[in-house]
A and B are shown apart, each in its own frame.
Chain A
């Protein structure tokens, strides 16, 4: 009874806290400019199924993909067992579904145990890649501090979670074999759990029954407390991608990657010069800001991108400018965007719901002009991202800000603009010479 109450308080408390944080993230994302993405629902659904659920883009790097698949499969399938644990917790039952589901129950939990072992291997593999093998993309300077700690905390939490599962199942298996488990005795000699029926006796076989009951409970409570902790760690962590990968891929750009949006604010002004019948739509007296200076100049999709990034760095490792030692890193663009957005969100929370100017902006205080001007707009980062994040659109938005609002393009580019304006070519050639090649040998 007492345990039911404690469990229910934990369940309600952690769900409520998670819900509050989700609402904050949603509020932050909606600080972005409104755009409508309601087209091509079936193609969007297909993209989400392939890229998020099916992890299609992961498999260009098979080792990471395989390790990731182990964790991912275990995570998704384990949710089924969680239903029972929550039911048991509230009602003070023990393995309540076992009697109802019978052999299928044994199969499910056994399957989950196998996946948990694979997840353990995957997690150890990931820890090794980060901390022992020191993969370049996982050890760049931009990850120093919180980002590296965050990654390791998640992996350690996963290891702990798996250990608790095997404590719980292993001890229960031994108890069951001794006829002392709280699980319903279905007349068989063993719980039949694929891993624990071997591992349990091996580790706990020599322990007294009273001690095993304690270990089983530590495993059970440890596991569920880890689940609640994990849930509430997500909103503060890059690991939020496990949830946001789905909406983020659903709202992917479905157009050709070479298609950069045409700014309607510009079209509305330029078009009347070429089409006298065109009626401007926008209020001529309204102040229009061009390009991206701060997070609120980005669209909600670009902000969703930032929260969906798990900092894997595939984008950066494919970026021609980063490969050749330049300051630009598409991953850093996404991390900076999220960090700034979180800062703006905290500012709003601290000032009773309104943002009070803090004299800072994403471009300038987080991202430098040097990074922005280095980009080749080659789309390698967009191509690489396993959850269809688009760092390039943010970079181009910032270039628009630098050119159209701050007039601070590099001198050579200003020269190119002048040539283009005067000569219709990026170089200083006379437009009347454009067809000379026809008659040259």
Chain B
């Protein structure tokens, strides 16, 4: 595996280049050890197709999503406008995000605040690259494996993106199984709405355990996800049932990058 090439916006501009697309990494993708692997998988794909992209690096800051869902509208709008002034300063036109929460917030909530961009989720980018013939995908080590895809709420229900991740997974020549609660009826992993950052209220079960149980009932080799928070929740859920040796939790980007040794 060759070294990753991750230019920052600042470097690109200094070299007189204009990136075609900005890769919005997100807090989880920047700081969480597990999520960093997803970030790198996305970069490996971008490098492989020779994409002219850049990241904001230290100029990136939280989109404000967790603050907004938790009711702190002031903090959200402060974050949003700070990010928008940086994005507009670089005259960014197109953004790909590694996280459905960043995706949703920038796509839907930034425009009214002055930030208008074309925003896609990384599974949509991969789908586009495959469709355009820029990325050739084979199953590799995943060929014939059984995979269930867990819909992230903020990609699926929130933005009606159901097919891109499935389309991409199916290119790997795998057996894609559907949970009973999938697509528009998908069950949350338990992280959304700022629940990731607090203890759950009193109840009979953890949401991620309920969801992992449903996914594991298909006896899959892999639970595929498209969100770093879902990844954490599902990984914990699989561990709860001591199934981590049998079932891996992987992001769609990791599946593509790993299968094709990118």
**Chain A residues at the B interface, C-beta cutoff of 8 Å:** 60, 255-260, 262-263, 266-267, 269-271, 273-275, 290-291, 318, 320-321, 323-328, 370, 373-380, 382-383, 396, 398-404, 409-410, 412-413, 415-417, 420-421, 424-427, 429, 431-438, 440
Contacts and interface: CB of A to CB of B under 8 A. Distances in A.
Nearest to B155: A258
Given A324-B207, A396-B71, A375 B193 contact: yes
Interface in B178-209: 184-188, 190-207, 209
Nearest to A431: B58
B85 to A, nearest CB: 5
B67 interface: yes
B108 A255 contact: yes
B112 interface: yes
Contacts of A412: 197-199
Interface stretch (B12-20, B73-81, B135-143, B168-176): B73-81
B57 A420 contact: no
Interface of B: 4, 6, 8, 25, 27, 29-31, 36, 39-40, 55, 57-58, 60-62, 64, 66-75, 77-79, 81-82, 84-85, 104, 107-109, 112-114, 153-154, 157-160, 184-188, 190-207, 209-211
A259 B105 CA distance: 7
Contact of B30 (A378, A398, A425): A425
B110 to A, nearest CB: 9
Contacts of B187: 318, 320, 323, 380
A266 B77 contact: yes
A398 B71 CA distance: 8
30 contacts: A60-B185, A256-B160, A270-B74, A318-B185, A320-B187, A320-B211, A324-B200, A324-B204, A324-B209, A324-B210, A327-B202, A328-B201, A376-B188, A376-B191, A383-B184, A401-B71, A403-B70, A409-B71, A412-B197, A412-B199, A416-B197, A417-B75, A420-B75, A421-B75, A424-B79, A434-B30, A434-B31, A435-B8, A437-B29, A438-B55
A427 B73 CA distance: 19
B72 A438 contact: no
A324 B203 contact: yes
Interface majority SS (helix, strand, loop, mixed), chain A: helix
Task: Pick from B55, B69, B160 the residue with the most CB of A within 10 Å.
Answer: B69
A254 B76 CA distance: 23
Nearest to B192: A376
Given A376-B192, A400-B73, 19 more contacts: A258-B104, A273-B81, A323-B205, A324-B203, A324-B206, A370-B201, A374-B200, A377-B69, A378-B157, A382-B157, A396-B71, A404-B71, A413-B194, A416-B67, A416-B194, A417-B70, A425-B30, A434-B30, A434-B60
A118 B91 CA distance: 63
Nearest to A396: B71
A379 B198 contact: no
A255 B114 CA distance: 18
A417 B67 contact: yes
B160 to A, nearest CB: 7
A107 B200 CA distance: 60
Nearest to B100: A258
A258 B101 CA distance: 9
Nearest to B66: A426
Contacts of B27: 424-427
A417 B198 CA distance: 12
B213 to A, nearest CB: 11
Given A60-B185, A291-B71, A425-B27, A262 B113 contact: yes
A425 B62 contact: yes
Nearest to B83: A424
Nearest to B194: A413
Contacts of B201: 321, 326-328, 370, 373-374
A122 B72 CA distance: 47
Contacts of B4: 438
A100 to B, nearest CB: 49
A423 to B, nearest CB: 8
Nearest 10 pairs of A and B residues by beta carbon: A258-B158, A399-B71, A325-B204, A424-B61, A377-B193, A325-B203, A378-B188, A259-B108, A435-B57, A258-B104
A332 B229 CA distance: 28
Contact of B158 (A257, A262, A324, A400): A257
A441 to B, nearest CB: 10
B78 A426 contact: no
Contacts of A324: 200, 203-207, 209-210
B153 A376 contact: yes
A376 B71 contact: no
A326 B203 contact: yes
A429 B31 contact: yes
A376 B207 contact: yes
Contacts of B25: 437
Nearest to A370: B201
Contacts of B199: 410, 412
A91 B202 CA distance: 64
Contacts of A400: 71-73
